[in-house]
Structure 1
């Protein structure tokens, strides 16, 4: 992994946690995994405490976009909820 990829993944995890509304608390950053599909699109997988938080908040899907250059990384996330 290049440094900008690692920075992008960290930015994605922070954006994901904020899209849920909790920020980074009550779970470990390892509870969020950011993978790439065959075209490079980021895919979000949740585990452990963060997975339970998503269940509690009725989150059905998490979308994330990551951009980076040599010096900076930024990410945006949207948590899609289902009616409970």
Structure 2
């Protein structure tokens, strides 16, 4: 057992055939890894999670009011949150989680490019705009899901992006169908 190389899985969902940047693995790059990377196959997921203190969001909202809301949230999100700090904190955590699933953190995507709105059932759903949408497309993410939990003091959110590796023949069939319609 000791002479076996560890199996390392790819830490970032990406388009098939695109190499992972060497810098992602630190100063030594891939050469510093204890074993080779296992290429992703089939369905891949990108996950992000975040937790935030509701009181922290409450204080920022009380201090900056509309300026804070307009910088971080879309009009639809503001309407749905009804200025309730716990709801705002949940959306804030969801946006952080989405940015982590996109592999960027909040570097390169803007708050308002990630929109978390409720369906009539109350279930949150994700809408991506601008750079966030482009990043999801670059990664080949075809769907996003988010779940939010709010407590009196904390809000937590998890975001999952899905990348289904479509076989080349299925991809061509889908492209042909789109061209014909």
| TM-score normalized with structure 2 length | 0.45
Query: Residue 21 of structure 1: CA displacement?
Result: 1.7
Whose Rg is larger? 2
Whether 2:95 is the aligned partner of 1:13: answer: yes
> Which residue of the partner structure matches residue 141 of structure 2?
59
Whether 2:88 is the aligned partner of 1:3: answer: no
CA distance in 1, matches of 2:132, 2:101: 12
Question: Which SS does the other structure have where 1:25 is aligned?
Answer: coil
Query: Residue 71 of structure 1: CA displacement?
Result: 1.4
CA distance in 2, matches of 1:17, 1:27: 7
**Post-superposition, which runs of at least 4 consecutive aligned residues in structure 1 deviate over 2 A?**
none
Whether 2:129 is the aligned partner of 1:47: answer: yes
Runs (5+) with no aligned partner, structure 1: none
CA distance in 1, matches of 2:143, 2:105: 17
Aligned residues: 84
Q: Which has the higher helix share?
A: 2
Runs (5+) with no aligned partner, structure 2: 1-81, 167-181
CA distance in 2, matches of 1:25, 1:59: 19
The structure whose RCO (Cα within 8 Å, separation 6+) is larger is: 1
CA distance in 1, matches of 2:86, 2:162: 27
CA RMSD across the alignment: 1.1
Query: Residue 60 of structure 1: CA displacement?
Result: 0.5
Q: Which has the higher strand share?
A: 1
> Which residue of the partner structure matches residue 78 of structure 1?
160
Whether 2:113 is the aligned partner of 1:25: answer: no
